[in-house]
Structure 1
């Protein structure tokens, strides 16, 4: 009998120990999900004023997180913008400009350290599903840049023989890539309509596969870059035509990935970032998005080219329903992720700032005060400090005054318009319409000093000046 009582009380004691054990502490480092949408304009979400369709999942994300209204791409074109996001460097510091074509024998230098490489050293699983566009030769593909998994397209899906510009008819066939291996060819718009659903399927599978370890999931959706294509489930569903259909499907994709996070019990320990690589390609007319009232669009250093919608969500950490007007850039994503994950910063110089405190709700912090607007090969076209933006005289693309195209055919967008030097105050004049340099010579002088330092550091083709701290682009090893 004594043995039975002893066993009984030992069992009770064991139960008590289990019952009063503290809950497992939350993981010290968050999962990261980073959406990078192609050619999405500032005004292309319903939460930023889109008409003719709604983006309810992104609206919900904004209500549950923080919307950053002064968030800038580092450059208003595909490859350069992506290089900046993944390295925290101005793309011209890395020798990268424009958008790599499918036959380019160059890419992001493998010596550069990407977000994926930095967090992988911390034990993170890393995956990219979508558009890469940082070099299509194998030595530049994601598996050589810190990613464990890759499924997507190597460059923009208009770089194929069906492009309406005749010179692109010589492009090679476009294939999906799995890891380092080309797969199914994307031959037509029906094939292109699989882009968003397939990427979504692979992204959710990655979450399930890595639910028991920290992960970095990069989802650079190829759409709504032209040519536009939506799956049968969304085709014809919006009042905005095919562009609205595509946006509805992209919003669905975000919703599916967010649902998977919740299903796997990861929602409260995941930072989700949603933004775009550059503004809308406006000369495509009804197949292009909206810059939300900002001047010009993709391929320009005006706000319509570089100011992007940005939402960040992390329940219990990032304040919900908040709007921040502080100046930030895609350059700042890498150092912030490094801080949150406990990773180490790259060995070489970067241009981003850690905005962790601001992200978590400390609005007294102003991590970034200035921004450089480079374009073309390495031309400094504007500088910004706070609300002031000084645009230098430069040749550039212009959409204003040009009749946009229709039904997937582009209208004209001349590249040699001569923009004059001008000073804008972006709080009073976000559309960059009123040159106030004559009234503010001291501001002009201050911004010109910032420009001179930038030219010493990074160079300036317009002044035929070589930068002292520019690193070489990756080139194919013969």
Structure 2
């Protein structure tokens, strides 16, 4: 919303004055977001291959969210939800303008600048904001992080496999500082360290004011890279090397918070954009499926939240939560106002994070989309895969009791026709709201479109 963006600077200045007068300033937020990290890829979620002591310490000192969902099995749609609090179809980011499952370089499409991101919400409360890492919500100037609420940006604008060799029109893989390419092709084995150094610089420079750091790592998305200090050191090849370097990065950030005495007033959230791919060493165990699917392994992701003194330590929460909940939750915790002029699908889950007695999932249903197709619905303990045609094969409805069968191995639809009917009714309501395949939803909003997109190069557009 242009009016919202225009008011941010003025409101932020007045908010800073108010914050100076408050006895307890709102907490900082650090959101560490991995690319294609599987449910079973870190120690606190069962990995026996990867050494992740610093990520595991977040679980020891905080809360594991064991039914935390991305809204998509792939990058662009999932990130649109994280930023806006909405299902991808709500903001028309469920697929590219050409119908592909993610955005590619020189894309016409991007996150509409009229959407209100979590960064914009927090800036209205006086927060400093930075994005460090992979963006993947549009590579044209109107769609870049610096136009979506982030005051600074360092990172690659899309996936690390989208360099000049992938497609003819792709430029060399660019590393950007704000809206300028500073290195191309970027040396990928330096990325995790460069991101970490930038994150620590931002934290240090903003230690006297509330800040929001969004750190979307490039890895372990393919192709896999790790710096010399980590290459060949894990028990799981380059995949494990990249994961263990992310753990090191997390540790450096946590140590800096402790050094600056910011740890007790900083919310640290660690998650992944979707499940691990079906190759290269990632694990979604004990879940079925992988990246790109609507099985649990494609969309249920590891998530840990630490906030000493507020989030109880060493506990597990199995309530259904999602990336769409980040915006309304951060808004509630910070005292900011979430958007009220549009539909926001996410809910404030801070009662769950605090461990409040009687707190339950705010979601009566969670909807699993693949591109433009609604494929499954979760309702409490039940998950219904809807009937559909896939690769010329007719797939019937299939019902799973996730409390007893997290691996989705036993279809119990025949034994629970009432549950099937109830969830099918929820699916119909979703279709009317968000759409399904060629059916447009009543409350969808347009994505941004650039009619004449250009390449991001060292020489500019």
Q: What TM-score, normalized by structure 2, do the two folds share?
A: 0.89
CA deviations over 1:358-405 (Å, ceiling 9, x no partner): 1111151112231011112x2110111101011012355xxxxxxxxx
Query: SS of 1:434's equivalent?
Result: coil
Residue 245 (structure 1) aligned with residue 245 (structure 2): no
State the 1:52 CA deviation: 2.6
Aligned partner of 2:364 in structure 1 is: 369
CA distance in 2, matches of 1:94, 1:355: 22
Aligned residues: 424
Aligned partner of 1:426 in structure 2 is: 402
Aligned partner of 1:122 in structure 2 is: 125
CA distance in 2, matches of 1:395, 1:360: 43
Aligned partner of 1:141 in structure 2 is: 144
The structure-2 alpha-carbon separation of the partners of 1:158 and 1:363, relative to structure 1 and needing over 3 Å to count, comes to farther
Aligned partner of 1:105 in structure 2 is: 108
Aligned partner of 2:188 in structure 1 is: 192
The structure-2 alpha-carbon separation of the partners of 1:429 and 1:104, relative to structure 1 and needing over 3 Å to count, comes to same
CA distance in 2, matches of 1:264, 1:114: 28
Aligned partner of 1:20 in structure 2 is: none
Aligned partner of 1:340 in structure 2 is: 333
Aligned partner of 1:40 in structure 2 is: 37
CA distance in 2, matches of 1:210, 1:416: 55
State the 1:417 CA deviation: 6.3
Q: 1:205 aligns with which of 185, 201, 204?
A: 201
Aligned partner of 1:454 in structure 2 is: 430
Kept in 1, the 8 Å contact 2:41–2:50? The answer is no
Kept in 2, the 8 Å contact 1:51–1:240? The answer is no
Aligned partner of 2:16 in structure 1 is: none
Residue 323 (structure 1) aligned with residue 316 (structure 2): yes
CA distance in 2, matches of 1:416, 1:226: 29
CA distance in 2, matches of 1:162, 1:47: 37
State the 1:343 CA deviation: 0.9
Aligned partner of 1:313 in structure 2 is: 306
Query: SS of 1:36's equivalent?
Result: strand
CA distance in 2, matches of 1:297, 1:247: 17
Kept in 2, the 8 Å contact 1:160–1:169? The answer is no
Larger radius of gyration: 1
CA distance in 2, matches of 1:454, 1:154: 31
Aligned partner of 2:10 in structure 1 is: none
Q: Structure 2: 5+ residue runs without aligned partners?
A: 1-20, 95-100, 453-461
The structure-2 alpha-carbon separation of the partners of 1:416 and 1:200, relative to structure 1 and needing over 3 Å to count, comes to farther
CA deviations over 1:309-330 (Å, ceiling 9, x no partner): 0000000000000011111011
State the 1:58 CA deviation: 0.8
The structure-2 alpha-carbon separation of the partners of 1:418 and 1:253, relative to structure 1 and needing over 3 Å to count, comes to farther
Kept in 2, the 8 Å contact 1:173–1:185? The answer is yes
CA deviations over 1:189-222 (Å, ceiling 9, x no partner): xx11011000000000000010010000000001
Aligned partner of 1:8 in structure 2 is: none
Kept in 2, the 8 Å contact 1:27–1:269? The answer is no
State the 1:28 CA deviation: 3.3
Kept in 2, the 8 Å contact 1:296–1:302? The answer is yes
Aligned partner of 2:380 in structure 1 is: 386
CA distance in 2, matches of 1:418, 1:321: 45
Residue 360 (structure 1) aligned with residue 354 (structure 2): yes
State the 1:466 CA deviation: 1.7
Aligned partner of 1:476 in structure 2 is: 450
The structure-2 alpha-carbon separation of the partners of 1:450 and 1:148, relative to structure 1 and needing over 3 Å to count, comes to same
Aligned partner of 1:258 in structure 2 is: 254
CA distance in 2, matches of 1:300, 1:170: 28
Kept in 1, the 8 Å contact 2:236–2:281? The answer is no
Kept in 2, the 8 Å contact 1:42–1:292? The answer is yes
Aligned partner of 1:233 in structure 2 is: 229
Query: SS of 1:382's equivalent?
Result: strand
Aligned partner of 1:14 in structure 2 is: none
CA distance in 1, matches of 2:235, 2:227: 16
State the 1:433 CA deviation: 1.5
Kept in 2, the 8 Å contact 1:318–1:359? The answer is yes
The structure-2 alpha-carbon separation of the partners of 1:238 and 1:169, relative to structure 1 and needing over 3 Å to count, comes to farther
CA deviations over 1:19-47 (Å, ceiling 9, x no partner): xxxxx976331100001100000000011
The alignment yields a C-alpha RMSD, in angstroms, of: 1.5
State the 1:53 CA deviation: 2.7
Q: 2:90 aligns with which of 85, 93, 117?
A: 93
Query: SS of 2:105's equivalent?
Result: coil
Aligned partner of 1:10 in structure 2 is: none
Query: SS of 1:93's equivalent?
Result: coil
Kept in 1, the 8 Å contact 2:64–2:305? The answer is yes
The structure-2 alpha-carbon separation of the partners of 1:231 and 1:392, relative to structure 1 and needing over 3 Å to count, comes to same
Q: Structure 1: 5+ residue runs without aligned partners?
A: 1-23, 397-414
